Each structure stands twice: as structure tokens, then as C-alpha cells.
Amino acid sequence: SAVISQKPSRDICQRGTSLTIQCQVDSQVTMMFWYRQQPGQSLTLIATANQGSEATYESGFVIDKFPISRPNLTFSTLTVSNMSPEDSSIYLCSATQGWKEKLFFGSGTQLSVL
């Protein structure tokens, strides 16, 4: 199993600023993902964080808005850039240790943009 530490757990930010969310896994994982969960909604996949290369983004998400890094097998960051109130959501880091196996999740970052 894997334990994922995600921080910050919550933040309140001003419009136009950026926030970087960190995700640290306590063991090696094969794949890392970032999800967004808008209030009362299900999870939407933002991107797959690829080690040492550019992340793979899903439709509707772009690198300029959500730059992602994954410098090694156990660490990744997601930046929410030039924030607007529409970015207010829970952002979740997740990882898997196998192919098409279960996901482990961080505890999430609850972001509010004023």
C-alpha cells in the first residue's frame, strides 16, 4: 500500500494569484494523477503526472493553467495559476502501484478563491 501526503489541506486565495499543491508518496508508485472535485460533484481527471516529462492533460485542462511537475517517482506538484472563483474545488492527488489497479488518494486540498 501507499500513503500519500498532500499539502496544503486547504487555502483561501485571491483572484489572479497561483497556488502550488504538493503530493508526496511514501513508496514508489507507477503512476500519479491529479483530480478535481467541484462542490457536490464527482471527480474529474485533470492530468497524468509523468516522471521527468510533461504531464498528459485531459480535455478541458491545459498546461498554462495547471502546470504539473513530477521530478521523481514519489513526488508531484500541481499549480493552479491565475485563479478565479471558478477554480474553487477540492484537488486530489492519487497514485497507483500497478497497471489498472486501485488508486491511493491524498486527503485533498480544499481551495477557495475570492
CB of 16 to other proteins, least distance (A): 26
- Sequence-distant (≥ 6) Cβ neighbours of residue 42 within 8 angstroms: none
CB of 94 to other proteins, least distance (A): 8
Query: Is residue 34 part of the contact set for other proteins (CB under 8 A)?
Result: no
Among 21, 48, 66, 77, contact with other proteins (rule: CB under 8 A) = 48
Q: What is the dihedral of CA 46, 48, 51, 52, to 10 degrees?
A: -60
Cα 114 off chain centre by: 20
Query: Is residue 21 part of the contact set for other proteins (CB under 8 A)?
Result: no
By the 8 A CB rule, do 18 and 82 touch?
yes
3-state secondary structure of 39: coil
Residue placing its CB nearer to other proteins in the complex, 44 or 81: 44
CB of 102 to other proteins, least distance (A): 4
- Sequence-distant (≥ 6) Cβ neighbours of residue 66 within 8 angstroms: 34, 46, 47, 57, 78, 79, 80, 81
**Residues numbered 56-95 forming contacts with other proteins, rule: CB under 8 A:** 90, 92, 94
Binding site for other proteins (CB under 8 A): 4, 6, 31, 33, 35, 37, 42-43, 45, 48, 90, 92, 94, 99-108, 110
